[in-house]
Amino acid sequence: MAFGQLAYSQSDAATDSTKLKWRIEGQASAFTLYNPDNQLSLYSGARYMPQVSLEKKLPKHRLIDLEASANIFGTMGVHPFDTAVTAGDIRPYRAWVRYSKAQSELRIGLQKINFGSASILRPLMWFDQIDPRDPLQLTDGVWGVLGRYYFLNNTNIWVWGLYGNKNRRGFDRVPSNSKVPEFGGRIQFPTPKGEAAFTYHHREADISELNMFTLDNSPEHRFGIDGKWDVKVGIWVEATWIHKTRDLGLLTNQHMLNLGMDYTLGIGNGLTVIAEQLVVAAHEDPFVFENTGTLTAVSSSYPLGLFDNMSAIFYYDWTNDALYNFLQYRHSFANWSLNVIGFWNPQNSQLPQQQNIENLFGGKGIQFLAVFNH
């Protein structure tokens, strides 16, 4: 989440750089959406996300800092003039502490962990829930420990352990067993004109809700490779193989492959275009591509000026012959931004995204979103 400028600082007038620094920031947002194809045609909501940050510099280029923030929100859906449905909650959003040195860091708590080369359709979306259509780019965090070491040649190594996370993340078909630790790692290294990486993760998948197996859990291994290169245009590849050790039919092996590119055209202020192709397959045996689905995504962004931007995202689901259209205008000034989003989609969305916005964006309509950072 992007917060605004520093609001309060205990050490604004301090000359000792080792003193404790703190700041309070926040983001408030409100939206109204009209979708005549939805059962609740009018939908509104408000959200406030306060954040407190502390920082303590130590000798020898060491640092201890922490961040704590909350997600406070409420929504109301209305079908004029006979039905109204409300919902709301207060949840922790981030709660972590970090110890870092010049080439390493260790972070513990509720945090965001994301990586990979793809931009829109991301096979390596293992721990976050970022949706490219969301102007706020919100994602729930995961509870765990993350360590990273950065070599001088730009190689870096990630190691993590997670515990107590029960919600689905990314493309998860089933959640994790929150009582069994998860662990994994990633190595990323430079290549000519770019970088490449290998990633592994192990978890205990909770299959009890499938109601088709006598077992409650299945060990799961995840393998991922990705790379990105700049060869006049930006190109990337991102692929994953998810293997469950128990025989779960088509859920035993899942494969995803993303190929993408981006380029900024010299038109006016510069038109940036991103295109990605995602292929998904599932089978009882590994590396068998029989039960496949294909999805194409194209995103474009054009700055109208210093404070105004137009962007669009289009998805085409080749399996279901369905086209999804999103058009967004944003005006930013000072600490405010105003967003207008128009959409025209199939009534029943089949997009493999993890935010629950398909329920609101199924059909055609318009959304107004105001955001204030302090």
Q: CB neighbours (10 Å) of residue 348?
A: 10
Residue range 102-145, pLDDT digits in tens: 999 999 999 999 999 999 999 999 999 898 999 999 999 999 99
Burial of 212 (0-12, 13-18, 19+ CB in 10 A): exposed
Model confidence at 15: pLDDT above 60: no
Is 62 part of any domain? Answer: no
Residue with tokens 């085409």, as numbered in its chain: 316
Per-residue pLDDT, 29: 98
DSSP string covering 13-77, please? T---TTS-EEEEEEEEEEEEEE-TTSSS-EEEEEEEEEEEEEEEEETTTEEEEEEEEEEEEEEEE
Contact between 110 and 92 (Cβ < 8 Å)? yes
Each residue's pLDDT tens digit, 263-290: 999 999 999 999 999 999 999 999 998 8
Q: For residue 75, tell me if it sits in a domain.
A: no
Residue 270 CA to residue 268 CA, distance in Å, equals 5
Q: Which residue, among 80, 4, 78, has the nearest Cα to 43 in the 3D structure?
A: 78
| 100 occurs within a structural domain | yes
Tell me whether residue 233 is in a domain.
yes
What CA–CA distance (Å, rounded) separates 103 from 143? Answer: 23
Local confidence band at 75 (pLDDT 50, 70, 90 cut-offs): very high
Task: Please state, in angstroms and rounded to a whole number, the distance separating the CA atoms of residues 16 and 5.
Answer: 22
DSSP letter for each residue of 291-311: EEEEEEEEEEEEE-SSSEEEE
51, 121, 233, 282, 330 from 147: Cα distances, Å: 23, 26, 33, 32, 37
CATH number of 333's domain: 2.40.160.10
Give the separation between CA 354 and CA 344, rounded to whole angstroms.
19
Question: Is residue 6's pLDDT more than 60?
Answer: no
User: Which residue type is seen at 161?
Assistant: G
For 22-64, the pLDDT digits (tens) are 999 999 999 999 999 888 899 999 999 999 999 999 999 999 9
Give 262's strand partners: 234, 274
Mean pLDDT of 220-248: 96
Please give the Cα distance from 90 to 70 (Å, whole number): 7
Average pLDDT over the chain reads: 91
- CB-CB contact of 209 with 237 (8 Å): no
- The range of the structural domain enclosing residue 305 comes to 91-373
Going by their DSSP bridges, the two strands 217-231 and 336-344 should be labelled as: unpaired
pLDDT digits (tens, 9 = 90+) for 176-227: 999 999 999 999 999 999 999 999 999 999 988 776 666 788 999 999 999 9
**Quick one: residue 137, left, alpha or beta (phi over 0 = left, psi -120 to 50 = alpha)?**
left
pLDDT given at position 7: 39
In a domain, 151, yes or no: yes
DSSP 212: S
- Residue 163 is predicted with a pLDDT of 98
In-domain check, residue 12: no
42 located within any domain: no
For 126, half-sphere exposure in the C-beta direction (CA atoms, 13 angstrom radius) is 30
Report the distance separating Cα 311 and Cα 330, nearest Å: 8
154's tokens = 């730009």
Mean pLDDT over 309-330 rounds to: 96
Q: Is the dihedral of CA 168, 134, 116, 119 positive or negative?
A: positive
The C-alpha atoms of residue 66 and residue 109 are separated, in whole angstroms, by: 10
- If one counts the domains in the chain, the total is 1
Decide if pLDDT at 14 tops 50: no
- What pLDDT does 209 receive? 77
Identify whether the C-beta of residue 125 lies closer than 8 Å to the C-beta of residue 115: no
The whole-number pLDDT of residue 11 equals 43
H/E stretch holding 240: strand 233-244
Predicted confidence at residue 353, as pLDDT, reads 56
Residue 218 lies in a domain: yes
How far from the centroid of its chain's Cα atoms is residue 124's Cα?
Answer: 10
Instruction: Say if residues 224 and 242 touch (Cβ distance below 8 Å).
Output: no
If you write DSSP's letter for every residue of 85-107 in order, what string do you get? EEEEEEEEEEEEEEEE-SSEEEE
